Amino acid sequence: MSWAIGIDFGTSRSAGAIGSLGRGANGSAADSVTTTVSPLEIEGNRWVASLVLRTVEGELVLGTAADNLAGVHPDRVERTPKRSLGTGPPILLGGEPVDARDVAAAVIRMIVAEGRLRSGGTEPQSCVLTHPVRWADLRRAALREAGERAGLRDVHLIEEPVAAAIHYSAEHVPVGAHVGIYDLGGGTFDTAVLQRTDNGFEVVGVPGGDEHIGGEDFDHRLFRYFGSCLAETAPELWEQMLNSDDRKWKRAALDLLVQARRAKEALSSYTSTQVFVPVADRDIVINRSQFEAMIIDDIERTVDLMEDTVVDAGLAIEDLASVFLVGGSSRVPLVSQLVGERFGSRVVTRDEPKAVVALGAARLAALRLVPAPVPAAAPSAAAPATASAEVLPGPAAAAATARPDAWLDHLPPPRQEQRLGAEPAAERVAVATAA
């Protein structure tokens, strides 16, 4: 069975989703096209860390294995390879230069491998990779080549906010309406305003954001907070964790950073949590209000930047049909609170925010599997020809000959995320075609 894959190569975390085509309601592919998309789970999560570690032997190690070794070999790790893609010199790993395209390809290859396992060992027939809307041609070309180096064929690119809007298009955004994309990821914050057109979505105005606000920064603030608590009773331990070259202390520092990340995620669901620091044999408790005090200035800035992007597009907040929250860090309760206070009930978030962009990309990739239509007979004088417009590049245009964006009108609301540990449910999408 042919299948497609969508990949969101992120700054600190990446995600993937797979898609495939089905049959229409009467069993025929002629009356409608059904796409099924579902997020990929890698090592128990719907994302994989983008960090890469190069061993002494020159092998690139990914995921949890790389994370476990990062504290021991910090000079051999690149945590945010996306920032180097298409920007100039190679990445130095253990003093050796490594092409950023090869590093990105390794992450992409790991995601594709999981998709292959879910799809009977066959190769994807279509792939869509996403990129920031502000990327220039050089960086987009580097991303495309990274996909090709990962062994993908038929690689296509789409802007991240457009992919997110496609996933959220179940909100039935009417033609002509505007939506805002608030994307708070692990390493960066991005904003965009899109307009629904006859052909899908188009970016309006100038996208905005801040490349220095993201979940990793929040992790480090918690890390420093826990360190300050240690320093009150055992300053020598904290000093060793920060400055020692000994593996024991490097490992202790990495463990505390990992626990800081877990504490941040726990505080999205609970009002308080605690971490245990083995080298100090001590528990440290933190509550949500303490964490929010550490990040509120940054979150308020992101809300301001979102509004600035709306204004730069020549619009007012009231002109937006919806504001979609995207990115793993948008799960922080303070985000929805402050964005909601500014933008009101038009704020929308569903599913796992980190998977939103990948799911939208997978949906597009699946549509590219639609076979090209058989050429129709020449129209007679009594039946004049009707002009048609292309929705998507390539064969996916066959999915919308009645009206270019008809497929968007038939997207059902995405399923809510299931309970922790449950099998991710696939999302079925009916796409109308011409009768």
Question: How much is the average pLDDT of 395-415?
Answer: 41
Same domain, 243 and 149: no
Same domain, 13 and 160: yes
State the total domains in the chain: 2
Q: Examine residue 240 and state whether it is found in any structural domain, yes or no.
A: yes
Q: Examine residue 301 and state whether it is found in any structural domain, yes or no.
A: no
**Strands 189-197 vs 178-184: parallel, antiparallel or unpaired:** antiparallel
**Strands 96-98 vs 126-131: parallel, antiparallel or unpaired:** unpaired
Q: Examine residue 390 and state whether it is found in any structural domain, yes or no.
A: yes
Q: Examine residue 232 and state whether it is found in any structural domain, yes or no.
A: yes
Question: Is a pLDDT exceeding 70 seen at residue 276?
Answer: yes
In DSSP terms, which residues pair with 272 in a beta bridge?
A: 287
Same domain, 169 and 251: no
Q: Please, what is the average pLDDT of the chain?
A: 84
Q: Which amino acid is it at 381?
A: A
Question: How much is the average pLDDT of 196-201?
Answer: 86
Q: Examine residue 196 and state whether it is found in any structural domain, yes or no.
A: no
Same domain, 30 and 168: yes
Same domain, 25 and 140: yes
pLDDT confidence of 383, banded at 50, 70, 90? very low
| Ranges 197-201, 212-216, 276-280: which has the least confidence | 197-201
Same domain, 135 and 265: no
Smallest CA-to-CA distance from 205 within 310, 133, 326 is with: 310
Percent of the chain as helix, strand, coil, to the nearest 5: 40, 25, 35
Q: Examine residue 132 and state whether it is found in any structural domain, yes or no.
A: yes
Question: How much is the average pLDDT of 183-197?
Answer: 92
| Ranges 20-24, 53-57, 65-69, 226-230: which has the least confidence | 20-24
Q: Examine residue 164 and state whether it is found in any structural domain, yes or no.
A: yes
pLDDT digits (tens, 9 = 90+) for 78-88: 989 999 999 98
Smallest CA-to-CA distance from 73 within 89, 87, 86, 60 is with: 60
- Select, from the ranges 18-27, 30-39, 288-297, 423-432, the one with the highest average predicted confidence (pLDDT): 288-297
Same domain, 35 and 131: yes
Smallest CA-to-CA distance from 409 within 208, 171, 224 is with: 171
pTM for the whole thing?
0.80
Half-sphere exposure of 262 (CA within 13 A, CB side): 11
Structural domain including 235 reads 215-291
Residue 263 sits in a domain whose CATH number is 3.90.640.10
Same domain, 171 and 221: no
Q: Examine residue 315 and state whether it is found in any structural domain, yes or no.
A: no
User: What is the spatial distance between Cα 257 and Cα 251, in angstroms, rounded to a whole number?
Assistant: 10
Same domain, 14 and 131: yes
Question: Which among 249, 266, 291 is the end of a domain?
Answer: 291
Burial 319-352 (b: 16+ CB within 10 A, else e): ebbbbbbbbbbbbbebbeebbeeebeebbebbbb
Residue 46 sits in a domain whose CATH number is 3.30.420.40
pLDDT confidence of 377, banded at 50, 70, 90? low
Question: Is a pLDDT exceeding 90 seen at residue 267?
Answer: yes
